[in-house]
Chain A
Amino acid sequence: MRRSMLFMPGNNAGMLLNADALGADSIILDLEDAVSPEEKDSARILVRNALKYLNYNNCEVIIRINSIDTKYWKKDLDEIIPLKPNLIMPPKVSCAHDVQVIADYILSIENEHKIENETAIIPLIETSLGVENAFEIAKSNKRVKAIFLGGEDLTADLRCKRTKKGDEIMYSRGRMVIAARAANIDVYDTPFTDVEDEEGLKLDCEFAKGLGFTGKAVISPRHVMCVNEVFSPSKRDIEYAYEVMEIIKVAKEQGKGAISLHGKMIDAPIVERARQTIEMAEAMGGVI
């Protein structure tokens, strides 16, 4: 289960120390934008040592590497892949070929180190070309488990202003969700960048969830709880899901083709949503 993904700067020893204790389902140890060019070497050595010596038992670990148009990305993977992180997040992925280049290089390192574990990939799509190619990217390689929309770089590429309301990325959000769902993978929304605006964060999360996003990235530990809450099924959702599954069981036993619950017909999409809700509730350990 991955609802929240918390960015942590890769060269900050103190923040890496407690990264898995902040409640996020995943932490993104960042070697890209959070690290100055002069400290790239230092950050990747620190992240490699953090992966080796800190267990990070409480959450999934994602490493954001530098983009493939830089001289850093291969060095990032050389250092990190032998430590078997859960996922690699390459930024500025614009086409399926970008993913293939990265996946091939990851495989070569895994083979060199005789690693059977397959590190997955979550491409960060943050260019207009990337959004146009979102489905191809989502389907490009079996390592791709999710795609993630980066709104800040995208709006720079679109030559428009990034606003709190987000009208400028509305099309891109919809396109990302369609692409990911068509490829049967997860999809993550861009962070809400105003750390102080908790009401704005909640509205942004609810909007993203309403569009079909699986979860959302956050840039502050203060945003983790809100994202987790919004992207979790409510107690009422879970109770209803169990009711749906029970009534479907009864319908089958009675040989009925159609059945209603609380006056509403229960059809296949409702059953599928109920199944997804129960699956998520079970992943949460029944905690609501």
Chain B
Amino acid sequence: MKIKNIAVAGTLESNDIYVQVEPNENGINLELESIVYSQFGEEIERTVREVLHDFDVKNITIRLKDRGAVECAIRARVETALKRAKGVDE
């Protein structure tokens, strides 16, 4: 999947994660802020990279602000942002 547009998904509410993606031609640039970074930072990043892999995304800048989201919410919000960035309308 090629990232064509800037797109966002999620919220800054508790138990959610806010995701912003934008085009990038130089691989995967992942920036993560999390209220539980010290405990779960690596796990969150691994989950995000799995979703990027599932959607065959090789070039992207992805910024995440995590408010304690569980895995299913992280996966959902990243997937939503990717689909929105692909330019597919509702």
Which A residues are closer than 8 A to B by beta carbons?
A: 12-14, 16-17, 37, 40-42, 45-46, 48-50, 52-54, 71-72
Contact = CB atoms under 8 A, between A and B. Distances in A.
B80 A41 contact: yes
Nearest to A11: B11
Interface stretch (B26-34, B38-46, B53-61, B64-72): B64-72
Q: What band does the interface of chain B fall in when counting residues whose beta carbon is under 8 Å from A?
A: 20 to 34
A85 to B, nearest CB: 15
Contacts of B76: 13, 42, 45-46, 48-50
A45 B80 contact: yes
Contact of A53 (B9, B16, B75): B75
A71 B89 CA distance: 12
Contacts of B9: 42
B90 to A, nearest CB: 5
A49 B72 contact: yes
A46 B73 contact: yes
The 5 A-B pairs at the shortest CB distance, nearest first, are namely A14-B15, A53-B72, A13-B73, A49-B72, A49-B76
A48 B73 CA distance: 10
Contacts of A12: 13, 16
Given A37-B90, A41-B83, A13 B13 contact: yes
